[in-house]
Chains A and B, each alone.
Chain A
Amino acid sequence: DAGVIQSPRHEVTEMGQEVTLRCKPISGHNSLFWYRQTMMRGLELLIYFNNNVPIDDSGMPEDRFSAKMPNASFSTLKIQPSEPRDSAVYFCASRRTSGGDEQFFGPGTRLTVL
């Protein structure tokens, strides 16, 4: 079975541009997480979805960030407008809510905002 799929793997954009990151969770997993990883702050949870519904978005840094999960197999994280301080690696992870402890991480999207 394929793991968590993220696209693009690398994104370089200019300040002020809109950025959309995409994630396909593992089939059958009904919990989805978006994380941001930086040297300074480590791994931070941005938002958590359960059964496609956003449960906890308290980690979303500000209104420039938004996330959607229109169906069980697809989620997006959008930054509009992007700023240089948004440069980081963004990970998507999924988990089975029932009987599953392990979060499976995707390979990440390395975002650079110039």
Chain B
Amino acid sequence: QQQVKQSPQSLIVQKGGISIINCAYENTAFDYFPWYQQFPGKGPALLIAIRPDVSEKKEGRFTISFNKSAKQFSLHIMDSQPGDSATYFCAARGSSGAGSYQLTFGKGTKLSVIP
């Protein structure tokens, strides 16, 4: 059972444009939603994360929008740069039992920012 669905699988954006990646979850016990960035040959690295008590979190050019009622969250990359070209994973985690440590990952979105 895929608990976190991520789309699109791949995304091509022109330099300076806005990249948008969407995720939907099923488990209402999730209360921590991170986004990880992975460059080729590297491990995933935390980019930005949000908890459901806020609807938006911004860090520089990266913004998470969170819709608790729709069980959806998205990553927006403003002024996309070629250096942002990477694979992005959304994830979700609960607060008790196995959910307190287990991150459930989306399948990833390969972003290519073209000059």
Contact = CB atoms under 8 A, between A and B. Distances in A.
Interface of A: 4, 31, 33, 42-43, 45, 48, 50, 55-56, 91, 93, 95, 101-108
Contacts, number: 47
A91 B44 CA distance: 9
A107 B43 contact: yes
B103 to A, nearest CB: 7
A91 B98 CA distance: 20
A95 B101 CA distance: 9
A101 B34 contact: yes
A66 B44 CA distance: 23
Contacts of B89: 42-43
B43 A105 contact: yes
B29 interface: no
B105 interface: yes
A107 B101 contact: no
A42 B34 contact: no
B98 A56 contact: yes
Considering the complex of A and B, which 9 residue pairs feature the smallest CB-CB distances, nearest first? A105-B43, A43-B105, A42-B107, A102-B46, A105-B44, A107-B43, A91-B43, A106-B43, A108-B43
A112 to B, nearest CB: 15
A55 B101 contact: yes
Contacts of A31: 101
A50 B44 contact: no
Nearest to B101: A48
Given A42-B106, A43-B89, A107 B41 contact: yes
Contacts of B49: 101-102
Contacts of A48: 101-102
A101 B32 contact: yes
B61 interface: no
A101 B36 CA distance: 13
